[in-house]
Amino acid sequence: MRWARLLGISLLIVGGALIGASVATGEGKVSLIVVVPVFWATGALGFLGIGALFLGFAVLLFFGPWFQIVPSETPSASTPPPGEPDTTGAKSASPRYGGLIVVGPFPVAFGTDRQLTMWMLVIGIVIAAAFVMFTLLYLVNQVWFPSP
């Protein structure tokens, strides 16, 4: 299933590049409505870019890591039978989950443990800083090079 992940990520990158080429050649336009980026195009590059993005998302969705077959656990010599207490002192690893919601420039992080939540918050702050930086660059560009 590693090939599916690589294919999905490659399609996302190719789709983004095709959309960028569409905007650069004037076939496509990008605007920001509230906080949602909107793209529309009149040429083949934009159509192919959107198609590659959708196909990349579909490949990652249907062949992603959450659909992998996990082998069932077989009891080994190191694990005690179900009726006996664990005397090895090793903690069983519980799954760790975390997420990030970015509303405009404001990140909201959550997770099952403190360390994971802090990493999500750091990623959210980086995304928010990039959002503010690109907005300021856009405004400076509009002041220096006003459109007629």
Domains: count for the chain: 2
Residue 132 lies in a domain: yes
CB count in 10 Å sphere of residue 29? 13
Over range 141-146, report the average pLDDT: 85
Residue 20 clears pLDDT 70, i.e. is over it: yes
Residue 123 lies in a domain: yes
**Which residues constitute the domain of residue 119?**
97-148
Over range 11-15, report the average pLDDT: 92
Residue 88 lies in a domain: no
Residue 83 clears pLDDT 70, i.e. is over it: no
Residue 45 lies in a domain: yes
For residue 125, give every residue at least 6 positions away whose Cβ sits within 8 Å of its Cβ, in sequence order, or none.
Answer: 107
For residue 16, give every residue at least 6 positions away whose Cβ sits within 8 Å of its Cβ, in sequence order, or none.
Answer: 49, 53
Task: Give residue 102's pLDDT.
Answer: 81
Cβ atoms of 19 and 13 closer than 8 Å: no
Task: Give residue 94's pLDDT.
Answer: 79
pLDDT in tens, 27-56: 888 888 877 788 888 888 889 998 999 998
Residue 80 clears pLDDT 60, i.e. is over it: no
Residue 19 lies in a domain: yes
More confident residue, 40 or 86: 40
Closest to 48 (Cα-Cα) out of 4, 11, 73, 76: 11
Q: How is residue 74 written in tokens?
A: 């077989």
Instruction: Cite the beta strand spans of 42-103 per DSSP E.
Output: 98-103
Residue 31 lies in a domain: yes
Domain boundary among 69, 89, 112: 69
pTM of the model as a whole: 0.46
The HSE-up count of residue 16 (CA atoms within 13 Å, CB side) is: 7
Same domain, 13 and 62: yes
